[in-house]
Chains A and B, each alone.
Chain A
């Protein structure tokens, strides 16, 4: 019913270029002490800002992003925005303010960490802030009942009044809530964001362009977000989620949220593509858009980059990697290649086209031979990701060291080759902690030279007493603890400490050595 009303009210589309747009975006992962911290709220706010500046006609200098702000900082941002809106109004400009909040909350309050701020107070401040139109989007959460799906507990705010003036463009107050009264809102690790915001952004990029006019209106976004969120939560989440919208708009036309047709880069899906399409940012692995491809063309505004396209049709699944530069890039069925059914079945929507991880880096270790001190060297490794948290792989380290005693100078090369399994736990998508256990072999080649060999050579000491060349092979077992920073694209940096037990043969005995290896590796997903 709400959807129908929205569609009836927002009949016309008007150009928004005459409108000066501002934005305040708030993301806060932390709620009060009873609430499980969120993972993606702050990143959601960042993504919304990106889409608004790319496609929503909001200049970067007119947007303010607040990540994990304190209550006072949010109040100050609102006061600053009020001043800017006042200046714009004095210039005779029609203004629109986006206010986006993602974080914990409840029926009455938003939770900024240990602080709370009444929703009613925020709404009152937004009504009085001086913008012709205010669009608030509240994606708030309350608790966590499932480690993989987090629930967000916003409810619809009570209705409020807005001055009703007949203007050439709609003016007033719109509030989009991620969940209806009594419902929980949810975020997903798979999407790396909240369900609602994900579909909101996907819609603004073009998925919600039902009339194929290259612009996304408020009603289109709501219709798309409502149905997609409901569908998805109905299909696989712990509770269904109905996004809600309250409007108090007056004037003619409709409110345009984004302009995919004006985007500097866009994918144009056309041809015989049929089915559910996922568009995944290859750099981050995040789903940036999804839609159902039908006979019509579908324009999707995206930032230039590489995108993995996955099409789930009725009888097959296809995927492909598409490089998007500036301009429009057409995507047809021929650009996507069929995927083995097994890999699809086992990985489902998490199908990973970059399962291999190549590691290259520097290594330093205490020697596996007693009295040899430290060596420096290099590491190379190749892992295969069985899942987000589990991988198997092989690696090799090589290092060079020297030592000497009163008679001999020794130098040696130590090489190990190990195979093992690794577990990884990700934090905020930026950092991850890994542990590993590996088995393998070490090979050590050694050369020793008598310091006084020339003198001894002169007195006829045999050469085999003056220099030696030895080697050994032995088993090795290592464990590892690593901290990985995911910097950009498919590249990450890992710092690891790896104790290793190895067995080497010496003239006197079989030595069991405990060495400690430290590595700094660059890791690239292939």
Chain B
């Protein structure tokens, strides 16, 4: 009160406006400020200008989500679910001048793209850095037939590779979040905003004050979404059986569970996101869909076979 009185006197003497009020359209102070850091990744000089885009992911549908909602008490039942749709709702964010080394993003409202189940609310988001080569201020979508985009995505805090991601939670832990946390060995995330990350030396850490790391040199989720009209489809399920042969333009990547990821390179950038997963052994609880080829892998199988 004393401060106000002194300030008032000062105002009158200087005849200048003081104090501070908000215009009617003011959105107020941010409810959360995310610190992000591009770490361990070299970025060459931009042809256009580097910008950042933050995106909340929305689970629009797919068998996995439906199954997890159906078996919320036992998410393990949903191991066979094979498809998740993530819809990208990108928001261009201002970045500090020191970009791309470190910058902050202010959130003034909870994410609009939320996965709701009863009282549980869950959202996950990530950030990408791209070279806005045509300087139009937005990350341009990529048509499936194009060789490459005008804009070049250079780094991303991916979801599936899960280096770091922004989490948002209301109410009890959502089944999807629970499955994710269990798989990664993560603690229960706090209410509201937090940053979760899996680090080689610390394992999974979730902290409200943590910094989002943008480290991936192989863009994944956001890059994928650019090929699908802002919808990225992830197939977590297994194809029923490994094929007898692969075409010569197939590109493979070995998994950790006697499985292999394959995509056919037809010369288009977006081909890499049409990935299929084959496994020698299915671990589902359903005896009708169980198989085991570990004793007789196909001749083309390039990956190590574990018992």
Q: Do A and B come from one complex?
A: yes
Where the two chains meet, the residues of A that have a C-beta atom closer than 8 Å to any C-beta of B are 367, 369-373, 403-408, 410, 412, 441, 444, 446, 448, 450, 452, 455-456, 458-461, 464-466, 468, 470-475, 503-507, 510-511
Closest 6 CB pairs of A and B: A371-B24, A472-B19, A459-B192, A474-B17, A403-B24, A459-B191
Q: Beyond the given A444-B21, A456-B192, could you list 13 further A-B residue pairs with CB under 8 A, ordered by the A residue number?
A: A367-B24, A370-B24, A407-B27, A444-B19, A448-B26, A456-B110, A459-B110, A464-B29, A465-B29, A465-B30, A473-B8, A474-B11, A506-B21
Q: How far is it, in angstroms, between the C-alpha of A456 and the C-alpha of B11 when the chains are bound?
A: 36
Q: A509 CB to closest chain B CB, in angstroms?
A: 10
Which chain A positions have C-beta within 8 A of B109? 406-407, 452
11 contacts between A and B (CB under 8 A): A406-B109, A446-B22, A448-B26, A456-B110, A456-B192, A458-B191, A465-B29, A474-B11, A475-B15, A475-B16, A506-B21
Question: Is there an interface contact between B110 and A506, defined as CB atoms closer than 8 Å?
Answer: no
Of the residues B18, B30, B190, contact of A473 by C-beta under 8 Å: B18
Question: Is there an interface contact between A369 and B23, defined as CB atoms closer than 8 Å?
Answer: yes
Number of interface residues of B (CB under 8 A): 32
Of the residues B4, B30, B170, contact of A458 by C-beta under 8 Å: B170
Q: A29 CB to closest chain B CB, in angstroms?
A: 48
Question: Is there an interface contact between A472 and B31, defined as CB atoms closer than 8 Å?
Answer: no
- Asked if B12 CB lies within 8 Å of chain A CBs, one says yes
Q: B219 CB to closest chain A CB, in angstroms?
A: 30
Question: Is there an interface contact between A472 and B21, defined as CB atoms closer than 8 Å?
Answer: yes
Given the known inter-chain contacts A460-B192, A465-B29, please indicate yes or no for A448 contacting B108, CB distance below 8 A. Answer: no
Q: How far is it, in angstroms, between the C-alpha of A446 and the C-alpha of B23 when the chains are bound?
A: 10
Which chain A positions have C-beta within 8 A of B15? 475
Q: How far is it, in angstroms, between the C-alpha of A441 and the C-alpha of B10 when the chains are bound?
A: 13
Which A-chain residue is minimally distant from B4 (CB atoms)? Answer: A471
Which B-chain residue is minimally distant from A451 (CB atoms)? Answer: B109
Which chain A positions have C-beta within 8 A of B4? 471
Which chain A positions have C-beta within 8 A of B108? 407
Question: Is there an interface contact between A510 and B17, defined as CB atoms closer than 8 Å?
Answer: yes
Q: How far is it, in angstroms, between the C-alpha of A503 and the C-alpha of B15 when the chains are bound?
A: 10
Q: How far is it, in angstroms, between the C-alpha of A472 and the C-alpha of B16 when the chains are bound?
A: 10
Q: B7 CB to closest chain A CB, in angstroms?
A: 8
Question: Is there an interface contact between A503 and B25, defined as CB atoms closer than 8 Å?
Answer: no
Q: B275 CB to closest chain A CB, in angstroms?
A: 36
Which chain A positions have C-beta within 8 A of B28? 407-408, 448, 450, 465, 468
Question: Is there an interface contact between B21 and A412, defined as CB atoms closer than 8 Å?
Answer: yes
- Asked if B20 CB lies within 8 Å of chain A CBs, one says yes
Query: Chain B 126-146 against A: per-residue CB contact (8 Å), 1 yes, 0 no?
Result: 000000000000000000000
Q: A372 CB to closest chain B CB, in angstroms?
A: 5
Given the known inter-chain contacts A455-B110, A460-B191, please indicate yes or no for A506 contacting B24, CB distance below 8 A. Answer: no
Which chain B positions have C-beta within 8 A of A474? 11, 16-18
Chain B 6-62 residues near chain A, CB threshold 8 A:
7-8, 11-12, 15-32
Of the residues B22, B30, B191, contact of A507 by C-beta under 8 Å: B22
Of the residues A371, A441, A461, A466, contact of B23 by C-beta under 8 Å: A371
Q: How far is it, in angstroms, between the C-alpha of A471 and the C-alpha of B11 when the chains are bound?
A: 12
Which chain B positions have C-beta within 8 A of A511? 23
Q: A296 CB to closest chain B CB, in angstroms?
A: 62
Given the known inter-chain contacts A441-B12, A472-B17, A473-B11, please indicate yes or no for A455 contacting B170, CB distance below 8 A. Answer: yes
Given the known inter-chain contacts A471-B4, A471-B19, A473-B11, please indicate yes or no for A408 contacting B110, CB distance below 8 A. Answer: no
Q: How far is it, in angstroms, between the C-alpha of A511 and the C-alpha of B17 when the chains are bound?
A: 9
Q: A442 CB to closest chain B CB, in angstroms?
A: 9
Q: Give the most central of A404, A452, A456: most B CB within 10 Å.
A: A456
Q: How far is it, in angstroms, between the C-alpha of A475 and the C-alpha of B27 when the chains are bound?
A: 26
Q: How far is it, in angstroms, between the C-alpha of A110 and the C-alpha of B217 when the chains are bound?
A: 105
Which chain B positions have C-beta within 8 A of A466? 31
Which chain A positions have C-beta within 8 A of B8? 473
Of the residues A367, A404, A464, A472, contact of B20 by C-beta under 8 Å: A472
Which chain A positions have C-beta within 8 A of B12? 441, 473
Q: B105 CB to closest chain A CB, in angstroms?
A: 16
Q: How far is it, in angstroms, between the C-alpha of A370 and the C-alpha of B25 when the chains are bound?
A: 8
Question: Is there an interface contact between B16 and A448, defined as CB atoms closer than 8 Å?
Answer: no
Which chain A positions have C-beta within 8 A of B169? 459
Question: Is there an interface contact between A461 and B31, defined as CB atoms closer than 8 Å?
Answer: yes
Of the residues A408, A410, A452, A505, contact of B19 by C-beta under 8 Å: A505
Question: Is there an interface contact between A465 and B26, defined as CB atoms closer than 8 Å?
Answer: no
Q: How far is it, in angstroms, between the C-alpha of A184 and the C-alpha of B190 when the chains are bound?
A: 98
Q: How far is it, in angstroms, between the C-alpha of A239 and the C-alpha of B18 when the chains are bound?
A: 62
Question: Is there an interface contact between A461 and B18, defined as CB atoms closer than 8 Å?
Answer: no
Q: How far is it, in angstroms, between the C-alpha of A458 and the C-alpha of B29 when the chains are bound?
A: 18
Question: Is there an interface contact between B24 and A405, defined as CB atoms closer than 8 Å?
Answer: yes
Query: Chain B 78-91 against A: per-residue CB contact (8 Å), 1 yes, 0 no?
Result: 00000000000000
Of the residues B17, B25, B29, contact of A475 by C-beta under 8 Å: B17
Which B-chain residue is minimally distant from A507 (CB atoms)? Answer: B20
Question: Is there an interface contact between B191 and A446, defined as CB atoms closer than 8 Å?
Answer: no
Q: A129 CB to closest chain B CB, in angstroms?
A: 73
Q: B276 CB to closest chain A CB, in angstroms?
A: 39
Of the residues A408, A446, A450, A461, contact of B192 by C-beta under 8 Å: A461
Q: How far is it, in angstroms, between the C-alpha of A505 and the C-alpha of B7 when the chains are bound?
A: 13
Chain B 268-295 residues near chain A, CB threshold 8 A:
none
Question: Is there an interface contact between B22 and A506, defined as CB atoms closer than 8 Å?
Answer: yes
Q: How far is it, in angstroms, between the C-alpha of A470 and the C-alpha of B26 when the chains are bound?
A: 13
Q: A179 CB to closest chain B CB, in angstroms?
A: 59
Which chain B positions have C-beta within 8 A of A456? 31, 110, 192
Question: Is there an interface contact between A405 and B26, defined as CB atoms closer than 8 Å?
Answer: yes
Q: A437 CB to closest chain B CB, in angstroms?
A: 16
Which B-chain residue is minimally distant from A470 (CB atoms)? Answer: B21
Q: How far is it, in angstroms, between the C-alpha of A473 and the C-alpha of B110 when the chains are bound?
A: 34
Given the known inter-chain contacts A455-B110, A473-B11, please indicate yes or no for A408 contacting B26, CB distance below 8 A. Answer: yes
Of the residues B17, B31, B192, B193, contact of A505 by C-beta under 8 Å: B17
Q: A91 CB to closest chain B CB, in angstroms?
A: 79
